[in-house]
Amino acid sequence: MRGLLLLLVVPAATSWLVPVAPARVRTQLNGVVNMPALSSTMKEGKLSEWLTTEGSPITAGDAIATIESDKADMDLEAFNDGTLLKILVEDGETAKVGDPIALVLEEGESEEDVMAMLNGGGGSTSAPAADETAPPSAPPAAVSEPSTPHTKVYMPALSSTMTSGKVVSWEITPGDSISTGEPLLTVESDKADMEVEHLGEEGFLARVVVEEGGSCEVGEVVAVVVEKETDVAAWEDWVPGASGTPSPAPAATSPAPAVKSSSSKAASSPSPSPPSGGRVVASPLAKKIAAEKGIDLSQVTGTGPEGRITVSDVESFTGSSSASTPPKSSPPPVSTWKPASGVIAATPMARVLAKKQKIDLATITGTGQFGRVTELDVKSAMGEKPKKKKTTGATAPIELPSGFVKYTAMQSAVSSNMEATLAIPIFRVSRVIEMTSFNALYAKVKVKGVTLSALISKAVAMAVEKHPIMNSRHDPKGGIYYNEDINIANAVALEGGLITPVMKNANEKTAEELGVEWKELVQKAREGKLKPDEFNTGTFAITNLGMFGVSAFDAILPPGTGTILALGATTPVLAPCDTCIGGISKRMEMTVTVTCDHRPIYGSDAAVFLKTLADVMENPEKWKIA
């Protein structure tokens, strides 16, 4: 499967943005294109093929390279104009995530300027000298990276425009087991809140690096998963950058003594006292072992950060066990979980609703699991009663907004995509389709769970199957790229933006199968749980404003596609009828409009396609669409 990855090429006066900002490259260099992270497990990528050559101009929307990751091959697409100055990684070569792979020259810049940016602009070879007069900082003592088998989890790029992500919530806590495909955390991207599944082997969550509410750049470590439960304790105090790997920063004038082991660290400082207030702070595994041995954790002195009790503290505890208290009387570890300090635990939908209504989540008491604030809690705080019926009275007055309102992440992504379409030469063709027979068919299959969007998508897919050119797109190499699968994307409006869930291989599925699939996709879209391949793999797009009474409209062509179909409302019209009394009959009609890329698709192609689509929808029984 081949996806599409957008590369943003911007003027020299602004910073370069690419979909990935790895941990070791904090600021992207002007003119330097880095190897992006195409998945949460990707550590390096292979440059399958450069689609352009050195010195060639780059136009917005052109795919400049194909990158092979551990998941799929993806095109790297330019977002603005520029010139490919130099290729640093040749075809067939690999590079680590974050390493430079090419240089791009913007108008007004010289080759020497860009090369200087590469050699000295990243801060990896030089850094400002430390102020010798200032007191030395006291960072936390480093803990060497344990040698136990493990897998690091990185902040994934959930969309082509995402450069950083925010951890909304962790679905499990350190010490818990995790299997392949199970939800690990929820990440807020520029598209929506999405669940991130564990893609590695089965294991145990050993370390959460980015707590709930925290943010980091794409490609940075957010967690560590180990193979054995007994290895969890070894990672409790580990932090990225303290693994013993040489740091790219220059050495200080007086190097600090290296930490040899956790025991030497403990010996060099007084034992921390337990936290005040009677609350026992311990790792999940330490609690589990203490419960099995019948040890009262309030009697154990913790040696971890801020007095946290670790596994070694429990195992080395020499006090008496409370044999009279059965282990089962202790609360299970999961019930003692609390969010990080300063973080309000809430579901993604609750956060969206609270943000929209400008309600402080800290003022709401959560009733969900772990005390999380749910959507119902927010609605209750708004004064909305559960299952409140709609009233027929006058609507409440609407407060008119005023002044500047910054785009949300999703709105910014939509805005950028729309601007990219300005460089595409398009044309539009419209046709009226008689809908009486189609509406009658829908009335029959509706009781089987077939939605109108699914039934229309099935009809469109059957028409596209007869005209493959409508399922193609322009290829920057100077030709037509025919998509192997017919994946129908339907636009869905969301609060603060829109998204296009995709029904894959729509021509090969029944209307009932598409109906079930579409309902699941829409539910995921509203909950912000769509996976990237569920909204960015469409080959033919549909947008429908007919439910709002819009008779006809023109759609903007999404980047990376060749055609989008706009559907208007179905309206009753009077038409001549030779067999009817009075010579006039009433029938239902719908106006459809296709917007096409004129490079691979011509007007005659669109016209013939619409003729076939009209035949399918006007004679659904003949085509057996349901």
Catalytic machinery residues: 598
Q: Count helices and strands (H / E) in the chain.
A: 12, 27
Tokens at 332, concatenated: 């299970």
CA-CA distances (angstroms) from residue 186 to 353, 390, 528? Answer: 17, 33, 10
Distance CA 625, CA 504 (A): 16
Q: How many CA atoms lie within 13 A of 514 on its CB side?
A: 31
Distance CA 305, CA 307 (A): 5
Residue in 88, 51, 100, 44 with CA at minimum distance from that of residue 68? 44
Tokens at 12, concatenated: 């020299």
Distance CA 331, CA 313 (A): 20
Residue in 14, 33, 8, 36 with CA at minimum distance from that of residue 109? 14
CA-CA distances (angstroms) from residue 196 to 39, 167, 186, 570, 606? Answer: 11, 10, 6, 40, 40
Distance CA 454, CA 434 (A): 19
* Residue at token pair 């991207």: 189
CB atoms under 10 Å from CB of 46, counted, come to 18
Would you list the DSSP string of 480-522?
A: EEE-SS--EEE-EEETTEEE--EETTGGGS-HHHHHHHHHHHH
Distance CA 38, CA 74 (A): 8
First-residue to last-residue Cα distance in the chain: 29
User: Position 574: which residue type?
Assistant: L
Distance CA 17, CA 27 (A): 9
Distance CA 476, CA 241 (A): 41
Contact by Cβ (8 Å): 600, 562:
yes
CA-CA distances (angstroms) from residue 218 to 233, 499, 534? Answer: 27, 21, 20
Distance CA 547, CA 551 (A): 10
Distance CA 225, CA 202 (A): 9
Distance CA 395, CA 466 (A): 49
Tokens at 86, concatenated: 């130099």
